[in-house]
A and B are shown apart, each in its own frame.
Chain A
Amino acid sequence: MELNSKIPDGPIEKKWDKHKFDVKLVNPANKRKFNIIVVGTGLAGGSAAASLAELGYNVKCFCIQDSPRRAHSIAAQGGINAAKNYQNDGDSVYRLFYDTVKGGDFRSREANVYRLAQLSVNIIDQCVAQGVPFARDYGGLLDNRSFGGAQVSRTFYARGQTGQQLLLGAYSALSRQISLGNVDMYPRHEMLDLVTVDGHARGIITRNLVNGSIEPHAGDAVVLCTGGYVNVFYLSTNGQGCNVTASWRAYKNGAAFANPCYTQIHPTCLPVSGDHQSKLTLMSESLRNDGRVWVPKNKEDKRRPNEIPENERDYYLERRYPAFGNLVPRDVASRAAKKMCDDGFGVGAAKTSVYLDFANAIERMGKQTVEAKYGNLFQMYDRITDENPYKFPMRIYPAPHYAMGGLWVDYNLMSTVPGLFVLGEANFSDHGANRLGASALMQGLADGYFVIPYTICDYLAESLGKDKIDTSHASFKDGEKAVNDKLKKLLSIKGKRTADEFHRKLGRIMWNRCGMSRHKDGLTEALESIPKLREEFYSDLIISGSGEELNQSLEKAGRVADFFELGELMVRDALNRNESCGGHFREEYQTENNEAMRDDENYSYAAAWEYKGENDAPALNKEPLEFEHVHLVQRSYK
């Protein structure tokens, strides 16, 4: 497999402008002739579908939720970065670019990140124009805050609901295009296969989740915006419906999957309370702006947190990282919490959490100010844990949150399957091995609003005048049959255990062996236990109901089946990467101070895995990462 990243030549700050000029154009009359399939309606999908429709393409848009407004982007809390430098504190496109590459532990593609930083400013303009109610100061201008891993205030926010407001902005743009007839919207439809003809993506097969009908949809290009896959861990901050199925079926149709082992574990989540737990709740990282993280110095300390005097507390982030303190990047903060708990300093009944304390902040700013800033988060904490965070410190623990890995894409966001584009969290491109806070929203919207409308032309222009393919083509019949067979297979097992139970077990393996820290031995073990569990899955699964109706058990089973395969690939990738970087921490590769130790000489590449068939190991393809502007250093937040 040839990985051509198609990075334009020239100086980094000119690459995108030059590229925009160089790409082929499709004239307005011809745009009408193209049908584009967009899967997913989160920030990337919603913005892409709306923007492409505005340009004149015929768009078909799909989502598994009952409404495009419910995509999980809606749950993002903290904010969105943009290099506006409204605060006059030294921010710039270059600094945002630099911070993102460094934050990603030097495992992202420079050119993509630079473009992202450039586009960040347009996103804010666009969203404000749509009526997104960002926080403002009394003079009526936009407010900013600083956010995990950044020393400048460049984060725009809408209380603790930034993702919601941005998504509703994209949803409103999408709704407008639906009403104009430019987008056909298919809610409650799940993509179950990619259809390729002569190696090009030409359509998808979907299942109508309400009545179970399997439907083919043809298009001139397919744009996947189907989000991340950390639900492979079972417990994560993702929505219950988040899954890897669309990406995974694309992978099995020839799209390379890059860096699957790069998963982000978010430091400020609520700890697990019991076996019944279905998800982990995240609380915005902005809490770390004013909250202080600590554990008792004495492992055996049984006192309530408020009774422990200052000098017997270990504010370990402030101690270990004086410059960034509680604001170190997510991977660093998460690992530090894990280390404290592993070493026996954890708090709570199971000793698997650390304190996040607002006592100082309340003293300094007053309860009212704290309430104004974080009220909704405090309320959420209280509601879930039944503890009052104004009186006692919160207890937090890291949880899987975001997947930096995803389908490999070139500078045009096109995967290794021509005509298949991948946007947002579903692709691998911009965050390297670790994503900085408030960057996911930025990437999703940059890809959808400002990148794909330009780059898709380059592909479409070439297919002008070629034969149109419709759903009567044999490939669609094959795709439908494959999907039907797979569903029948799942329904016919009629065993004893639910998909949920298998998922939980898989999640436990993934979390223990391929979670916050990994070791060769554990990974090797996982490479045996996952296929074993998968075998049990295919022999002992039970699904009630039929395939011809709304059947949430069947949906779940199909997604878990794909998580099994993805899990194995993640482990394989983690095992291959003999270094520690960002979210991928191999215990064997750490510095004396327990910091991640990269191996730039051998692993400065994106690992793009290629599917080779049911019974063959996937092939590893390497895209070397070249750093011309950012100097490779060991990350330091001291």
Chain B
Amino acid sequence: MNFSITLKIWRQKSEFDTGRFVSYNLDHVSPDMSFLEMLDTLNVQLEEKGKETVAFDHDCREGICGACSLYINGEPHGPDRGTTTCQLHMRRFKEGDVIYIEPWRAKPFKVVKDLVVDRSSFDRIIQAGGYISVNTGNARDANAIPIGKTKSDLAFDAAACIGCGACVAACKNASAMLFVSAKVTQLSILPQGHPERYDRVSKMVSVMDQEGFGNCTNEGECEAACPKEIKKENISRLNREFIVSKVKSAFSS
């Protein structure tokens, strides 16, 4: 059964514009549509009327690239848990619903246009140390380092992060610690990451701070919003790694 909805969408020309909500009515919404397909439909209607389309980031539309964002009715990626916006379907909504759509809001995530934000701060955090320094061709045989299944599963759980930024969007302090902790956890659990372990956490946290993200106050909103269900215990690990790193460096020459 198709239905009608009202959309309140944040429109902002550019980083320098102040932005405002604009209201749109949309009819004939099919419950089988994905949320983004619903926005596609709106955009076609806008474009046919010669009006500017709503800009939003998206690419794979299967929940893995991390491009889509959208703060839907007060929740990053909308009402379904463990789901990205692109995998959210309109059957979750009903006739007459009013849906607020906002961009991720955080100081480091500047609005580029409408619902598109600049998440390059995440790239800079990874560039600060979210890697293992191994040049191409320097590797040993893959089975030379056995890694127990429990450990490798734990590393995988953290590595599943898609870098979408929902954690920042959800946190009342716009903290990026879940994102940072996921990478730190992955590389600190795996033996390959050990040589740079403490240097890495120190550098990544430092860049995270410079970018202007807020601080964790242990309220778990990030975990609840994460489409890949990254656990907040990673933040605890991040703290531990950071403390050990600083204590070690204080006592080393």
Asked if the two chains touch in their complex, CB atoms less than 8 Å apart, one says yes
Decide yes or no whether B249 CB sits under 8 A from chain A. no
Q: Establish whether residues A70 and B65, one from each chain, have CB atoms under 8 Å apart when the complex forms.
A: yes
Q: Establish whether residues A383 and B155, one from each chain, have CB atoms under 8 Å apart when the complex forms.
A: no
A241 to B13, CA, bound (A): 22
Q: Establish whether residues A383 and B55, one from each chain, have CB atoms under 8 Å apart when the complex forms.
A: no
Give residues of chain A (8-51) contacting chain B, Cβ–Cβ below 8 Å: 47, 50-51
Q: Establish whether residues A553 and B37, one from each chain, have CB atoms under 8 Å apart when the complex forms.
A: no
A341 to B155, CA, bound (A): 43
Q: What residues of B have a CB within 8 angstroms of the CB of A171 in the complex? A: 126
Decide yes or no whether A68 CB sits under 8 A from chain B. yes
Decide yes or no whether B27 CB sits under 8 A from chain A. no
**Pick the contact of B65 from A72, A138, A496 — CB < 8 Å?**
A72
CB distance from B207 to the nearest CB of A (A): 10
Given contacts A136-B152, A380-B87, A552-B53, contact A542 B47 (CB under 8 A): yes
Chain B residue nearest in CB terms to A69: B163
CB distance from A450 to the nearest CB of B (A): 7
A270 to B67, CA, bound (A): 22
Decide yes or no whether A620 CB sits under 8 A from chain B. no
Q: Which of B93-101, B187-195, B212-220, B239-247 is the interface stretch?
A: B187-195
Q: What residues of B have a CB within 8 angstroms of the CB of A131 in the complex? A: 131-132, 155, 159, 186-187, 190, 192-193
Q: Mark B1-19, 1 if CB is under 8 A from A, else 0.
A: 0000000000001100000
CB distance from A391 to the nearest CB of B (A): 18
A461 to B18, CA, bound (A): 53
Q: Establish whether residues B186 and A282, one from each chain, have CB atoms under 8 Å apart when the complex forms.
A: no
Q: Establish whether residues A276 and B83, one from each chain, have CB atoms under 8 Å apart when the complex forms.
A: no
Q: Establish whether residues A161 and B160, one from each chain, have CB atoms under 8 Å apart when the complex forms.
A: yes
A67 to B163, CA, bound (A): 10
**Pick the contact of B64 from A47, A122, A164, A273 — CB < 8 Å?**
A164
Give residues of chain B (139-172) contacting chain A, Cβ–Cβ below 8 Å: 139-143, 145-149, 152, 155-156, 159-160, 162-163
Decide yes or no whether A525 CB sits under 8 A from chain B. no
**Pick the contact of B61 from A69, A133, A239, A453 — CB < 8 Å?**
A239
Decide yes or no whether B78 CB sits under 8 A from chain A. no
**Pick the contact of A139 from B132, B146, B193 — CB < 8 Å?**
B146
Give residues of chain B (60-79) contacting chain A, Cβ–Cβ below 8 Å: 60-67
Q: Establish whether residues A178 and B149, one from each chain, have CB atoms under 8 Å apart when the complex forms.
A: no
Q: Establish whether residues B47 and A126, one from each chain, have CB atoms under 8 Å apart when the complex forms.
A: no
CB distance from A361 to the nearest CB of B (A): 22
Main secondary structure of the interface of B (DSSP, over half): loop
CB distance from B27 to the nearest CB of A (A): 13
Q: Establish whether residues B131 and A175, one from each chain, have CB atoms under 8 Å apart when the complex forms.
A: yes
Q: What residues of A have a CB within 8 angstroms of the CB of B160 in the complex? A: 161, 164
Chain B residue nearest in CB terms to A210: B112
Chain B residue nearest in CB terms to A71: B65
Q: Establish whether residues B32 and A273, one from each chain, have CB atoms under 8 Å apart when the complex forms.
A: yes
Decide yes or no whether A278 CB sits under 8 A from chain B. yes
Decide yes or no whether B224 CB sits under 8 A from chain A. no
**Pick the contact of B36 from A128, A273, A278 — CB < 8 Å?**
A278
**Pick the contact of A128 from B60, B119, B123, B192 — CB < 8 Å?**
B192
Chain A interface bracket (under 10, 10 to 19, 20 to 34, 35 or more): 35 or more
Given contacts A131-B192, A278-B40, A552-B53, contact A175 B126 (CB under 8 A): yes
Q: Establish whether residues B133 and A239, one from each chain, have CB atoms under 8 Å apart when the complex forms.
A: no
Given contacts A86-B143, A129-B192, A140-B147, contact A282 B62 (CB under 8 A): yes
Given contacts A131-B193, A161-B160, A178-B127, contact A65 B67 (CB under 8 A): yes
Q: Mark A568-603, 1 if CB is under 8 A from B, else 0.
A: 000000000000000000000000000000000000
CB distance from B131 to the nearest CB of A (A): 4
Given contacts A50-B136, A133-B186, A542-B48, contact A165 B67 (CB under 8 A): no
**Pick the contact of B59 from A72, A501, A549 — CB < 8 Å?**
A72
Q: What residues of B have a CB within 8 angstroms of the CB of A277 in the complex? A: 37
Decide yes or no whether A66 CB sits under 8 A from chain B. yes
Q: Establish whether residues A550 and B149, one from each chain, have CB atoms under 8 Å apart when the complex forms.
A: no
Decide yes or no whether A274 CB sits under 8 A from chain B. yes
Q: What residues of B have a CB within 8 angstroms of the CB of A273 in the complex? A: 32
Decide yes or no whether A176 CB sits under 8 A from chain B. yes
Decide yes or no whether B232 CB sits under 8 A from chain A. no
Given contacts A69-B123, A179-B127, A549-B14, contact A544 B46 (CB under 8 A): yes
Give residues of chain B (10-48) contacting chain A, Cβ–Cβ below 8 Å: 13-14, 30, 32-34, 36-38, 40-41, 43-44, 46-48
Q: What residues of A have a CB within 8 angstroms of the CB of B128 in the complex? A: 179
Chain B residue nearest in CB terms to A496: B48
CB distance from B18 to the nearest CB of A (A): 16
Chain B residue nearest in CB terms to A453: B136
Decide yes or no whether A343 CB sits under 8 A from chain B. no
Q: Establish whether residues B139 and A122, one from each chain, have CB atoms under 8 Å apart when the complex forms.
A: yes
Decide yes or no whether A142 CB sits under 8 A from chain B. yes
A450 to B62, CA, bound (A): 30
Decide yes or no whether B135 CB sits under 8 A from chain A. yes
Q: Establish whether residues A176 and B148, one from each chain, have CB atoms under 8 Å apart when the complex forms.
A: no
Decide yes or no whether A91 CB sits under 8 A from chain B. no
Q: Establish whether residues A172 and B126, one from each chain, have CB atoms under 8 Å apart when the complex forms.
A: yes
Q: What residues of A have a CB within 8 angstroms of the CB of B53 in the complex? A: 544-545, 552-553
Decide yes or no whether A265 CB sits under 8 A from chain B. no
Most buried by A among B41, B138, B142, B145: B142
Chain A residue nearest in CB terms to B51: A544
Q: What residues of B have a CB within 8 angstroms of the CB of A500 in the complex? A: 40, 44
Q: Establish whether residues A175 and B65, one from each chain, have CB atoms under 8 Å apart when the complex forms.
A: no
Give residues of chain A (174-200) contacting chain B, Cβ–Cβ below 8 Å: 175-176, 178-179, 185, 187
Q: Which residues from chain A sit less than 8 Å from chain B, CB to CB?
A: 47, 50-51, 54, 65-70, 72, 74-75, 84, 86, 122, 124-142, 158-159, 161, 163-165, 168, 171-173, 175-176, 178-179, 185, 187, 210, 237, 239-241, 273-274, 276-279, 281-282, 379-380, 383-384, 386, 449-450, 453, 496-498, 500-501, 542-545, 549-550, 552-553
The 4 closest A-B pairs by CB, nearest first: A140-B146, A172-B131, A129-B139, A125-B139
Q: Which residues from chain B sit less than 8 Å from chain A, CB to CB?
A: 13-14, 30, 32-34, 36-38, 40-41, 43-44, 46-48, 50-53, 55, 57-67, 80, 82-83, 87, 89, 91, 112-113, 116, 118-120, 122-123, 126-128, 130-143, 145-149, 152, 155-156, 159-160, 162-163, 186-187, 190, 192-193
Q: A65-B65, A75-B65 are in contact. List 8 more A-B contacts (CB 8 A).
A: A72-B59, A128-B139, A131-B132, A164-B162, A240-B61, A274-B30, A453-B136, A544-B52
A-B contact pairs, 28 of them (CB 8 A): A51-B136, A54-B135, A54-B136, A65-B67, A66-B57, A70-B66, A75-B65, A129-B138, A130-B131, A131-B192, A133-B156, A133-B159, A140-B146, A171-B126, A172-B131, A173-B131, A173-B134, A175-B131, A239-B65, A274-B32, A274-B33, A276-B38, A379-B82, A383-B87, A384-B87, A453-B136, A550-B55, A550-B113
